[in-house]
Amino acid sequence: MKKGKLFGFTVTLMAAIVIMSFTAYQAAPKPWPVPDKNAKMTNPVKKDAESISTGKSLWSKHCASCHGKSGKGDGTKAAQLKTIVEDLTTTKMQAQSDGSLFYKISEGRDDMPSFKKKIPDQEELWSIVNYMRSLK
Amino acid sequence: MARAGHYCVLAFLMFSSTPAIAQENGDTLVTEITAAPKLKPVKNTFESIWLIDNQTVMVPVKGTFEMDFQHRFGTLKNGYNDFFGLFASSNIRLGFNYVPINNLNIGLGITKYKMTWDLNAKYLILPQTKNGGSPVSVAYYGNIGIDTRPSDNFVYESDRLTYFNQLIVARKFSEKLSAQVAPSISHTNFVEGYYSEPGKISQVRKHDHIAIALGGRYKLTEKMAVLVNYDQPITKHKSGNPHPNIAFGLEVSTSSHAFQFFAGNYYALSPQLNNMYNQYDYTDGQFLIGFNITRLWNY
């Protein structure tokens, strides 16, 4: 009986080691401080239907592959990244100011690319922020 | 104090190009400025610089480097024997483009067919705007093709050269539907001759060829669209008149890529060679499978 338990434990441990060796390790996101002046920036683009539609279109093209269609961090590329993609629909994430979201989209960091060159029109970046507010 | 205010408004009116209305109301001066609304360009009329065999009005943002991978396979007619043309001899083009300034795309490419290098440029002359302004986008596209096969294929070195000039007029009708019309003129330095009477050589075809392309995109989802493209030859030659091209396919676009998969009648991957010499006839079912893949990097 004792021998059987030991055998079971050994098999489980080996299976766990094998499984873990094939599992990519993803780090938890580090804190991302936003300069005060950026965090306090006022969103100049009205959250109307046109802006949200523009934001949705840009989100689908540039963001959804990692962040997921509805922002839950479950995009098709999310598992390949070094950092866990956070759920943007949570109260904590939505508590960030528009300016903070704009700064992060614009500047990027690590796995998150900078979009200020790819999307040079700032109104479009603000429209992504507006669309992100509708993520649930 | 009020007089100083008058002078300020007067100076503003003199040096401002925007219309202004000033109204005096008792001791206070109420100034109302009516600024001309800023015209916003319509974005993403197309998701790629390509619409199957033609260029679109799209010029990527300044600082974008693009690489193109294009294939045209054999005709579908042989069926399973060459797996619907996919295992037949294919034509391939590799292209490289860069946007050095706003609205100008310059590039070069090499095509397997006739080992043709091309140098090309596209300029967005007029963008479609949202609130008034232009209802269409207008772009010019031109290229020079250089046939780089060995010299024994040519009498003169200048016979290697062909040229293509096209004006592209496009409109984004809605978020889903965009269409374009693109007249073009192709030129070849070399045309074959024949003896029309003893001692007199006539040309079998003209050096210049005019054609018109019609094309469109309908988005099925945010990332996927149906594409159609039609090319109609206009110039009539004595012989070897080209066949029109009908092509239809699917496009999937992402942040850095656009993938287009389609069936059509053009093989050459050079717009002037396609327009001047295409011998694949859609009425005979001579459709080829092809794809265009673009990869963008922003600097």
Number of domains observed in the structure of chain A: 2
What residue ranges define each of the domains in chain B, with the CATH number in brackets? 2-33 (no CATH), 50-298 (2.40.160.40)
Residues of chain B with C-beta less than 8 angstroms from the C-beta of A56: 222
Query: What pLDDT was estimated at residue B36?
Result: 65
Does residue A96 sit in the same domain as residue A111?
yes
Contacts of B66 in chain A (CB under 8 A): none
Is A102 found in the same domain as A45?
A: yes
The mean pLDDT of B188-199, rounded to a whole number, is: 92
What CATH number is given to the structural domain containing A91? Answer: 1.10.760.10
Are residues A91 and A103 both part of a single domain?
A: yes
The answer on A127 and A69 residing in a single domain is: yes
CA dist., res. A21 & res. A14, Å (int): 10
Same domain, A49 and A111: yes
Please check whether residues A66 and A23 belong to one and the same domain: no
Residue B251: what pLDDT? 98
Give the helix ranges, DSSP H, for chain B.
2-15, 271-277
Q: Which of A54, A57, A114 to mutate to test the interface with B (most CBs of B within 10 A)?
A: A57
Instruction: Indicate the pTM of the whole model.
Output: 0.82
**Residue A121 burial (10 A CB sphere; 0-12, 13-18, 19+):** middle
Tokens standing for residue B98: 């860069």
Judged by CB atoms closer than 8 Å, whether chains meet at A120 and B62 is answered as yes
Judge residue B200's burial from the number of C-beta atoms within 10 Å of its C-beta, 0-12 exposed, 13-18 middle, 19 or more buried: exposed
Tell me the two tokens of residue B133. Answer: 């302004």
Same domain, residue pair A6 and A24: yes
Q: Which domain holds residue A11?
A: 1-30
Quick check: B149 and B112 in contact, CB under 8 A?
no
pLDDT of residue A16: 75
pLDDT given at position A11: 82
Across B178-202, average pLDDT? 94
In chain A, positions 21-80, which contact chain B (CB-CB < 8 Å)?
53-54, 56-57, 60-62, 65
Give dist(CA A2, CA A9) in Å, integer.
11
Contact assignment for A60 to B62 by CB distance below 8 Å: no
Give Cβ neighbours of residue B254 (< 8 Å, ≥ 6 apart). Answer: A61, A65, B223
**Statement: residue B28 has pLDDT above 60:** no
Backbone angles phi, psi at B175, to 5 degrees: -60, -25
> What separation in angstroms does the CA of A53 have from each of A49, A57, B273?
6, 6, 41
Which structure tokens are listed for B44?
Answer: 């993403």
**Residue range B203-236, pLDDT digits in tens:** 999 999 999 999 999 999 999 999 999 999 999 9
At B27 the pLDDT is: 46
CB contact under 8 A, A53 and B175: yes
- pLDDT (0 to 100) of residue A12: 84
**C-alpha torsion angle, residues B111, B114, B115, B117 (rounded to 10):** -70
Across the interface, of A60, A120, A121, the residue whose CB is closest to B223 is A60
Looking at the predicted structure, is the pLDDT value of residue A103 above 70? yes
High-pLDDT (> 70) share of chain B, %: 88
Tokens of B217: 């995109």
pLDDT, position A21: 60
Q: Which of B43, B62, B222 is opposite residue A60, by nearest beta carbon?
A: B222
- Determine contact: A2 vs chain B, CB below 8 A: no
